[in-house]
A = this chain, B = another copy of it.
């Protein structure tokens, strides 16, 4: 057995689990722990170090979720390879440009002329794991051709569903089985299928403002969408109680577009509401991988003791928008109804993509990728906050800066349209979040939206400097 001998200091300000986490991470990074080394069990290590099992578990959990370790069923916990040097194909630093702005999962046709584009929904091309993904595609074609050609399981590739279940447990605390997971071709498609196959009530509540893509799907299925105003800590439970809906769509990990991270107390109240109503919560956890401040808060689904949460996840933000691969985790009580309805439908996600994604997750490449992107986006996020502070100072307020791939600026006393125009003249594209208000006129005129995931740090600094010139000089 490998030996771990950290010096843990009980007097330190840093908690024991954190010291242990850092120690193991360092061992991996400097090669003292090699790829595929098996770690001691939680019990062994806690006995060895004379610390509680919780301490070891918390450290392991963190390392698992950051992709340093991998838990293999019936085998144990193993060291994963560290990311390789970024595989650059194409222009260094070129980010993936989409045809249009992408709020959450969807997109619209806004112009883009600038050289620096703070478009929400872009992902970074430079760090895309081209080689690893190509290997998975090739393996799927070479060794699993029968999976790739056929329609496939209508619920989605079983192995992939199992990998997703494992990932959700490790990264989001969501305990579910592959039986409850249903793949879909994007989140709009998932919500459409929920409307088609489940007996959801006609009236559905949403945060206001809230993600316009899902609002459109509800409306296009004849639903009566009720707006629930936001408070400091997320949607108003009081307004929800009085609204007559018993289904609500929320983005608790990172309210879209405002960016509120719903605290755990409010999560409890929301779950209580659903329980008392006999209703359901649609939890859209679209970018929860990217959190930069504060303690991790478990998904609503992880806190859901009475089986009232329908969880929506996607690979569009965390990995590959073009895969068109999202998923739903249904409460046990709804899974059979949904599966029955599905008897008349085929699975809509490309089977090649499903099989390749299964191989990509199974081999640990997905976790490594997430870890890499999290570091990258965190750096960009930090660079953006600093540039805004340095360049724009007290003339703007920042809204929703704890996580995700975008934030809002409140440019005090100014008008969005003018701001966008002035920025465009300097070659910088910024956007209005207006369309996420049911009545766009209620969006504060002084708000502009900046996505930063697809913009390099240097461009971020230059872009914000140009914004200062455009808006204040």
Contacts and interface: CB of A to CB of B under 8 A. Distances in A.
A159 B80 CA distance: 13
B96 A345 contact: no
A448 to B, nearest CB: 20
Contacts of A186: 346, 348
B188 A192 contact: no
A330 B27 CA distance: 25
Interface stretch (A99-107, A256-264, A266-274): A99-107
Interface string A124-153: 010010100110011001111111111111
Interface string A151-166: 1111000110000000
Nearest to A103: B344
Looking at chain A, what size class is its interface with the partner chain? 35 or more
Chain A binding surface SS class: loop
A106 B345 CA distance: 5
Nearest to A211: B344
A376 B1 CA distance: 58
B65 A143 contact: no
B149 A321 contact: yes
Contacts of A88: 146
Given A96-B150, A158-B66, A196-B220, A188 B346 contact: yes
A144 B85 CA distance: 8
A138 to B, nearest CB: 8
A89 interface: yes
A67 B147 CA distance: 11
B147 A141 contact: no
A345 B213 contact: yes
Contact of A350 (B149, B158, B188, B323): B323
A341 interface: yes
B343 A108 contact: yes
From A128, A152, A154, A324, residue with most partner B Cβ within 10 Å: A324
A197 interface: yes
Contacts of A192: 192, 196
Contact of A97 (B121, B148, B150, B348): B150
Nearest to A98: B150
A83 interface: yes
A15 to B, nearest CB: 11
A347 interface: yes
Given A99-B153, A108-B344, A151-B107, A158 B67 contact: yes
A87 interface: yes
Given A324-B348, A324-B351, 16 more contacts: A66-B153, A87-B144, A98-B151, A102-B151, A106-B344, A125-B145, A133-B141, A150-B322, A185-B185, A192-B192, A196-B217, A323-B351, A324-B346, A324-B350, A350-B352, A353-B353
